[in-house]
Structure 1
Amino acid sequence: MKGDEVGRFSKRQLGVVVAAAFAVTMAVPIGAAVAAPGPVATAAGTGAGLPDDDRPSPEAKAQRQRAADALEREILSGGRQSRATGEPGTVDSLKISGTHKVFVLAVEFGDKTTPEIGGPAGPVHNGIPKPDPKKDNGTYWVPDFNQAHYQKLLFGDQQPSFKDFYRQQSQGRFGVEGQVTNWVKVPYSEAYYTAQGSMDKLISDGFADWVAQRKAGGATDADIKKELAQYDNWNRAKHLDQPDGQLDHLMVLHAGVGAETFGSHLDPRVKEVIWSHSSATDKPVAIGTTGVAASDYTIEPENAGVGVLAHEFGHDLGLPDFYDYSGNGCAEDPLACQDNATGFWTVMSGGSWLSNSDKVRGTAPGGFGPWEKLMLGWLDYQAVRYGQEANVRIDAPNAKQGANPQALVVILPPGQDGKGRYYLVENRRNIGYDQDLQHAYFNSYGATLFQRFAYQPGMLVWYWNRAQKDNNVSEHRGAGQVLPVDARVSPIISDDGRAIRPRVQMYDAAFTLSATKPLNLTWDNTTPDGVKYTAKVTQPAQPAQPTFDDRNSWYDPRAWRSSVDVPKTGTVISLFGEQRGGRTVDIGVSFPGAH
């Protein structure tokens, strides 16, 4: 139910991965005062030391800022309707189109190390134990993680695949192609490479073995150079379609699981295993004597699904993480310190770990939100200026028909600091990769059996606040760079008085013309004196909620991780019609409280 008793329950997304376990914390007693919103101290040993899967260079950070500025100028000057043109971006833009090639290097480990580093040897590929489905319905596993498996997973035409995901999300404006190497072997253990602090040596050693394999197969230096030249067609620094002597996109797949699967960054095994991430080498890594180098890369584990691959590649294209990565509170609650309102609503947050079945996680992600597509130049939208009423018909992201836009951008008055503010409105339906929102998951702390539940389709309203640089709500409660508004903001609590985690709280965040479906979950816990028990999370069907009015409060301090403090501008956004089974909706925008 949604009620008056709320505790702090949120997700810990380790690196790219939404953690497998849900934290358990006692809720605020009924009638207890709720602390006023304010800054939260960073726990010792977390914060800056928290593993982060998005590690852009200073140049990349600067480009992201310029791209946001350029997008804002486009929205403000582009008139009432704007179409994504499919044109390539510039040094001041993240827009991208055409077909890009991705070089995929599969690496397994040797047994060399140093006394100071120690750790286990390897791993080599195909060493991940087969999960028992009666005990684990989350781990992705296949009998043979071979080249053919990855070629289909990454570049197959089926849904889901890495290629198909980006084709659908871009409406065909952007595509990926590539080839996966056979497994190459590096001399040192994974623990050794993890301890280096960068992936330069791993990438260097991996390519050394790949070049050796190619030469053993009869390839000459000229042959290898010609092969690599196929992957150097794009100048990342200038954002132009021209070679620059570096691989356009490098994806490294490493044997074994990712460190994020351990459930906590405080787990001692973390220091021996690689976190999935996107970054660049400290300096370009030469590939043999070919004259081609590797620099920008993503790295993911052997049993990566499409979700983690798509998420990390989103970083490679310039998108930030949408979860809370500040590290605040991780020492006392390492599994719950990175949750916010984004929940499963975007692949740049928990959506990377959705699936198209109830037997596994991470194999079929949900889609991007509207802001990410705007930044990449993949979204047809209509802008509505403050004070100018409009009725707009929009399509679901994966069900475009004719000239209808896919999102609505409401331009609000700037804040007192002069920074831009916008509502981004979209129509989320169980179509395309958003079908996977029907397989959201929940589990108790430490459990590997997941309960599934469905996110509710409808009109989702996001608040884009240019005064904020990230979605770290633990540092600025109720505020973030881009956060969805919860249409039913009262917190959901279990029958033992605990607040449900925000990514579950947000299951009915969309505005709807009909009632939502009920939610029924169980939650295992242990009392302070060690007695185990199971609580129920029961949320009855909630009535229709078709209207967002920013004169009302959509921020609840009791649920500060999952609610948003929107500006009081007198803007009303109403869902008033549906066609094609909800694939097309009619939305009205009015300004009865304009000032």
Structure 2
Amino acid sequence: MAGLASLATVVATLGFAATAVPGAAQADPGLDGIPASKGPVAAQKPDNRPDALSRKQTALRQRAVDALVSGDAKTVGKGADRTIKLDGGVKVDYPATQTAQLLTFLLEFGDEDSNPAFPDNTAGPLHDEIPEPARSDNSTYWLQHFTQQHYKDMFFNGLASQNGESFKSIYNEMSSGRFDLEGDVSDWVKVPNAASYYQDADGEETGEAMTAFLQDGADAWYDDQVDAGKTPAEIKSYLASFDIWDRFDYDGDGDFNEPDGYIDHFQAIHAGEDESAGAPAWAIWAHRSSVNTNGDVGPAGNENGGVEIGDSGLWIRDYTTEPENGGLGVFAHEFAHDLGVPDYYDTQGGDNSTGFWTLMSQGSWNGHGDGAIGTTPNHMGAPDKLFLGWYGPNDLKTVDGSGAPQQVVLGPSYHATDVGAQALAVTLPQGSATIDVVEPDQGTHYFYSGNGDDRSATTTSPTVAVPAGNPELTARVSYSVEDDWDYAYLEVSADGGTTWDHVETDLSTTTDPNQQNEGFGITGCSGTRDGDGVCDNEWTDLSADLTAYAGSNVKVRFEMVNDAAYHELGFSVDSVAIDGSVLTDVEDGAPTWTLDGFRVMDGSTFTLVYDQYYLAENKTYDGYDKTLSQGPYSFDYPLTAPSKVDQYKYQDGLLVWYVNGLYADNDVSSHPGGGQALPVDANPEYAYWTTGGVPVAYASGNVNSFDATFDVDQTDGLHLTRENASGTRSFDVAAQPSVPVFEDTDPDGYWDDSDDITSWFSTQVAGNGTVIQVVSSDESRGQMVVRAGRKFVAVTKAAAVTGTPATGQTLTAVPPTFFQSGVAVSYRWQVAGQNVAGATGTTYQVKPGDAGKAIGVVVTGTLAGYDAATSTASASGTGQAAAVTLSVDAPKKVKAGHKAKIKVTVGSAAGIPEGIVKVTFGGKKVTGQLVNGTVKLKLPKLNKAGKKELVVTFEPTSGWAPATTTLKIRVTKKN
């Protein structure tokens, strides 16, 4: 594990020093630092420690997945045999379904030997010796007896005390049933020495120490099986059931589903608590790694290091180790590393915004809020599910972030459903960055290794003839390589590149304090380090004796290998020669050399092109992700109850991840503002611990990122109080309307770089002009509608129409609300779906011809550089006929045999009605046409006296209401 360097000496992933954040103030010396937090976020050393082979495998798969997202690669095969096929025919293991085998040994400690650096641990611990926590401790997971059956239930059968939750079930849920876990747990056996024996004096789990621990554990387990009466054949047969996967495709046949002589997934659970959870430095820190990887041992035909289990012929190489009282979270987290998934927290001791959002950060310490922390984790994030191949054909929708906006329906992220896709990938153009390396030594060209964590790189010559006699290879080199952890090598192959020998140089060393030196490694600084430990990368001579290859045809290569954590600038090479005969001075670009990770430099800088994209997922409180509403916690009682926590809720909604190929980790304390995969915080303004409203201490990413999601509703507030010697401190974030739109036009728009510490949280974004909008969210179904693509005007509240749609009435358009400011608005009124000529204002007067038809308005928002948005609103109901008044001017009486005249007037507040008037008098009818709202009619003659009914009816043309009235007229006798 790499030591924690000061910020001034940390070199960012691609070689630029992180001595200052551009545009950011320094950390405020008047504020207390970020409070310590139990669990991985407080880590001062990484728990993911893959060897070179694992690093290469992970990097290759990530490259393949990135190519899959961009459309530059495709999957081939089905089920467990699915792979990603890259250019050149390389196949990358990418199973669509998989059944994994997990073998677990329970190991307690003896008393034969111990580490004198830790006089408090000369024996043990044995299992079941963890003290019962105090009543005030609501964070420590504890059982009186941690039995073999407990672990079988935790891993496979389901824990009755946790409603059937298990290691198996969480992986089944995260993978939507595509990953099944099988296996076994053996009972406790004792290794001969105390726990401290398996640490170095600094409390580091070195490769040598872990090799001893696993070898002792394997031997103890094998002896226990023999003592139980098992035959060697029975033991071998049992172990062979855990070897069905060829992790590294050792025979190169492209078939990963075959034995390779190594246990597929091995887990060593040690007695006692874990150092990462607060145990003493002699305790093992839970981690994933490989053992004895530099040893030329292993299964026959696949000698790839490791330790043999007794005389079984089966070997342990890659492993995880966890504490006796580990909850589901730590086991699920470490196993994910064994699958190639990286840590998402800052492994350099800083902090970032991943918090409880993922199993691969603080989420491994989640729970249900009713007991210990770490008992029930939440899910991995979308980047990891994509990396592991857990999205089916309909589970991941892809939208071009530079293309026309598209609408996508998402379901909940926790499992595949028929509600919608699990995640959205928004592709982006490749990014680029200018990287400073070192001034050329002579000429303008040289080889440069690049750098990063968990990586290796090579530059390989064509076949060359080595002269007879005492030939010497010489080169000019410049390097800044992490002392005793990262190494560069000169290597020679006499068989065409099938095998490689590490060759001693005048700059190499054989010391190997951390079991990272594969042999004759070059480490440290080629020149001088300043007071802050920064190397000046001075060019120097390298020489090596090639007498062992005199008279042979060989290939020569330089290799740079970086471990899992901190790294420096890397290794540069120029002017490679044998006995003065130049193999390459790199000035012609070295076209015959093969570069894998190395590059040819032209000058002191280069432009790095990298993949980038967004992944968005709808986080809901379902399945194991229910813990997002129950499990996040804060240690708020450091004075009276240091192990007591307060718990709070993370906000559901759309979580947007920025996957950024510029970086190989999320160590934002080394490179503020960027990481391998970070959530974009919808509310990025940093919040502090305060007293009386005045900031007094920095707050962690755990609490600052609780409301990182985008949504269309209201966020929950967060109110915490914490004890302090000088008084109570508060963390207060008020409830507020959710942010519904992510727009990346401003690369710094979601990054608070007020000072060096605040700049660790959230992330700079691509600046591509991409928009992702939450259009709607139905939490009862877990369904969310999003729109994504090149930047568009986003409507956050739809247009509306006010007024009654009756003839003559005025309707008013209420414009929509837009996310962007400065949006210009235009209107188009429509009747029956057709534009009304000239109706382009904010109001519209309903016409008689609109009756019975739908009336609406289309409001368009435009903004320079954005796709326009439209919002359509309709009046309530169809157009209504205008009410009328019907009045009749008629005589009260008329003589029999005479005609009388009447005048009918039809009026309306909406205008002058049009139509006909029908009159019925004594059973006889007359009709007339309204003119300007009136009509005069002669009544028919009636010869019979008496009261007669006069019925007057208005029958309108479209847009007016009909009306009828009845009067009585007396017909008098003739004189």
Q: Tell me if TM exceeds 0.5.
A: yes
Asked if 1:570 is matched to 2:776, the reply is no
Q: Which moved more, 1:175-184 or 1:534-543?
A: 534-543
Q: Are the structure 2 counterparts of residues 79 and 288 from structure 1 closer, same or farther at C-alpha, using a change threshold of 3 Å?
A: closer
How far has the Cα of 1:234 moved from its partner?
A: 0.6
Q: Which moved more, 1:460-469 or 1:379-388?
A: 379-388
Q: Are the structure 2 counterparts of residues 581 and 115 from structure 1 closer, same or farther at C-alpha, using a change threshold of 3 Å?
A: closer
Q: Are the structure 2 counterparts of residues 433 and 511 from structure 1 closer, same or farther at C-alpha, using a change threshold of 3 Å?
A: same
Partner of 2:378: 366
Partner of 2:735: 541
Q: Are the structure 2 counterparts of residues 82 and 171 from structure 1 closer, same or farther at C-alpha, using a change threshold of 3 Å?
A: farther
For 1:302 and 1:515, the matched residues in 2 are separated by 42
Asked if 1:301 is matched to 2:323, the reply is yes
For 2:125 and 2:624, the matched residues in 1 are separated by 33
Asked if 1:165 is matched to 2:165, the reply is no
Q: Which moved more, 1:241-250 or 1:491-500?
A: 491-500
For 2:768 and 2:45, the matched residues in 1 are separated by 38
How far has the Cα of 1:542 moved from its partner?
A: 1.6
Partner of 1:98: 98
Larger relative contact order, structure 1 or 2 (CA cutoff 8 Å, min sep 6): 1
Partner of 1:45: none
Q: Are the structure 2 counterparts of residues 225 and 150 from structure 1 closer, same or farther at C-alpha, using a change threshold of 3 Å?
A: same
Say if 2:114 and 2:196, in contact at 8 Å, map to a contact too. Answer: no
For 1:81 and 1:223, the matched residues in 2 are separated by 39
Query: Secondary structure, in 3 states, of the residue corresponding to 1:100?
Result: strand
Q: Are the structure 2 counterparts of residues 229 and 399 from structure 1 closer, same or farther at C-alpha, using a change threshold of 3 Å?
A: closer
TM-score between both structures, scaled by the size of structure 2: 0.53
Say if 2:427 and 2:612, in contact at 8 Å, map to a contact too. Answer: yes
Query: Secondary structure, in 3 states, of the residue corresponding to 1:232?
Result: coil
Higher helix share: 1
Q: Which moved more, 1:395-404 or 1:355-364?
A: 395-404
Query: Secondary structure, in 3 states, of the residue corresponding to 1:149?
Result: helix
Amino acid of the residue matched to residue 171 of structure 2?
Y
Partner of 1:146: 147
Asked if 1:194 is matched to 2:390, the reply is no
How far has the Cα of 1:69 moved from its partner?
A: 1.2
Partner of 2:343: 321
Task: Give deviations 1:111-144, integer Å, cap 9, x for gaps.
Answer: 12257455311000000011123x2110000121
Amino acid of the residue matched to residue 279 of structure 1?
S
Asked if 1:442 is matched to 2:634, the reply is yes
Partner of 1:30: none
Q: Which moved more, 1:539-548 or 1:244-253?
A: 539-548
Task: From 218, 241, 262, give the equivalent of 2:278.
Answer: 262
How far has the Cα of 1:88 moved from its partner?
A: 4.1
Asked if 1:382 is matched to 2:408, the reply is no
How far has the Cα of 1:194 moved from its partner?
A: 2.1
Query: Secondary structure, in 3 states, of the residue corresponding to 1:73?
Result: helix
Partner of 1:129: 131
Amino acid of the residue matched to residue 339 of structure 2?
L
Say if 2:718 and 2:733, in contact at 8 Å, map to a contact too. Answer: yes
Partner of 2:750: 554
Task: Give deviations 1:204-254, integer Å, cap 9, x for gaps.
Answer: 111222122212221111110111011111111117110111111100000
The aligned runs of 1:19-168 (5 Å cut-off) are 19=42, 50-77=44-71, 87-89=81-83, 93=92, 95-96=94-95, 97-114=97-114, 116-117=116-117, 119=119, 120=121, 121-133=123-135, 135-157=136-158, 159-168=164-173
Say if 2:37 and 2:635, in contact at 8 Å, map to a contact too. Answer: no
Query: Secondary structure, in 3 states, of the residue corresponding to 1:507?
Result: coil
Task: Give deviations 1:23-61, integer Å, cap 9, x for gaps.
Answer: xxxxxxxxxxxxxxxxxxxxxxxxxxx422100111111
Task: From 491, 500, 506, give the equivalent of 2:699.
Answer: 500
Partner of 2:620: 429
Higher strand share: 2
The structure with the largest alpha-carbon Rg is: 2
Q: Are the structure 2 counterparts of residues 544 and 116 from structure 1 closer, same or farther at C-alpha, using a change threshold of 3 Å?
A: closer
Amino acid of the residue matched to residue 702 of structure 2?
R
For 1:290 and 1:87, the matched residues in 2 are separated by 28
How far has the Cα of 1:545 moved from its partner?
A: 1.1
Q: Are the structure 2 counterparts of residues 11 and 437 from structure 1 closer, same or farther at C-alpha, using a change threshold of 3 Å?
A: farther
Partner of 2:429: 413
Task: From 331, 349, 374, give the equivalent of 2:361.
Answer: 349
Q: Percent identity?
A: 35
How far has the Cα of 1:494 moved from its partner?
A: 2.9
For 1:84 and 1:560, the matched residues in 2 are separated by 44
For 1:583 and 1:111, the matched residues in 2 are separated by 55
Query: Secondary structure, in 3 states, of the residue corresponding to 2:730?
Result: strand
Asked if 1:453 is matched to 2:610, the reply is no
Query: Secondary structure, in 3 states, of the residue corresponding to 2:100?
Result: strand
How far has the Cα of 1:533 moved from its partner?
A: 1.3
How far has the Cα of 1:11 moved from its partner?
A: 6.9
For 2:238 and 2:643, the matched residues in 1 are separated by 43
Say if 2:637 and 2:644, in contact at 8 Å, map to a contact too. Answer: no
For 1:85 and 1:412, the matched residues in 2 are separated by 29
How far has the Cα of 1:80 moved from its partner?
A: 13
Q: Are the structure 2 counterparts of residues 159 and 394 from structure 1 closer, same or farther at C-alpha, using a change threshold of 3 Å?
A: farther
Say if 2:75 and 2:83, in contact at 8 Å, map to a contact too. Answer: no
Partner of 1:474: 669
Asked if 1:585 is matched to 2:794, the reply is no
Q: Which moved more, 1:143-152 or 1:73-82?
A: 73-82
Asked if 1:208 is matched to 2:240, the reply is no
Query: Secondary structure, in 3 states, of the residue corresponding to 1:64?
Result: helix
Amino acid of the residue matched to residue 274 of structure 2?
G
For 2:77 and 2:257, the matched residues in 1 are separated by 22
For 2:107 and 2:698, the matched residues in 1 are separated by 42
Q: Are the structure 2 counterparts of residues 374 and 285 from structure 1 closer, same or farther at C-alpha, using a change threshold of 3 Å?
A: same
Q: Are the structure 2 counterparts of residues 286 and 564 from structure 1 closer, same or farther at C-alpha, using a change threshold of 3 Å?
A: same
Q: Are the structure 2 counterparts of residues 255 and 350 from structure 1 closer, same or farther at C-alpha, using a change threshold of 3 Å?
A: same
How far has the Cα of 1:145 moved from its partner?
A: 0.1
How far has the Cα of 1:75 moved from its partner?
A: 1.4
Query: Secondary structure, in 3 states, of the residue corresponding to 1:433?
Result: helix
Task: Give deviations 1:335-369, integer Å, cap 9, x for gaps.
Answer: xx331011111111111100123321101001010
Task: Give deviations 1:515-567, integer Å, cap 9, x for gaps.
Answer: 111111112223xxxxx311122221021211111124111103212121112
Q: Which moved more, 1:144-153 or 1:90-99?
A: 90-99
Q: Are the structure 2 counterparts of residues 11 and 69 from structure 1 closer, same or farther at C-alpha, using a change threshold of 3 Å?
A: farther
How far has the Cα of 1:584 moved from its partner?
A: 1.3
Amino acid of the residue matched to residue 152 of structure 1?
D
How far has the Cα of 1:403 moved from its partner?
A: 7.4
Say if 1:64 and 1:93, in contact at 8 Å, map to a contact too. Answer: no
For 1:537 and 1:431, the matched residues in 2 are separated by 27
For 1:166 and 1:83, the matched residues in 2 are separated by 23
Amino acid of the residue matched to residue 367 of structure 2?
S
Q: Which consecutive unaligned segments of at least 5 residues does structure 2 have?
A: 1-24, 85-89, 250-254, 293-304, 433-607, 792-864, 868-975
Say if 1:11 and 1:503, in contact at 8 Å, map to a contact too. Answer: no
TM-score between both structures, scaled by the size of structure 1: 0.86
Q: Are the structure 2 counterparts of residues 85 and 410 from structure 1 closer, same or farther at C-alpha, using a change threshold of 3 Å?
A: farther
Instruction: Name the Cα RMSD after superposition.
Output: 2.6
Say if 2:351 and 2:669, in contact at 8 Å, map to a contact too. Answer: no
Partner of 1:277: 287
Amino acid of the residue matched to residue 569 of structure 1?
N
Partner of 1:178: 183
For 1:421 and 1:83, the matched residues in 2 are separated by 27
Partner of 1:226: 237
Q: Are the structure 2 counterparts of residues 241 and 424 from structure 1 closer, same or farther at C-alpha, using a change threshold of 3 Å?
A: same
For 1:410 and 1:302, the matched residues in 2 are separated by 42
Q: Which consecutive unaligned segments of at least 5 residues does structure 1 have?
A: 21-49, 264-268, 327-336, 527-531
Q: Which moved more, 1:515-524 or 1:75-84?
A: 75-84
For 1:397 and 1:305, the matched residues in 2 are separated by 23
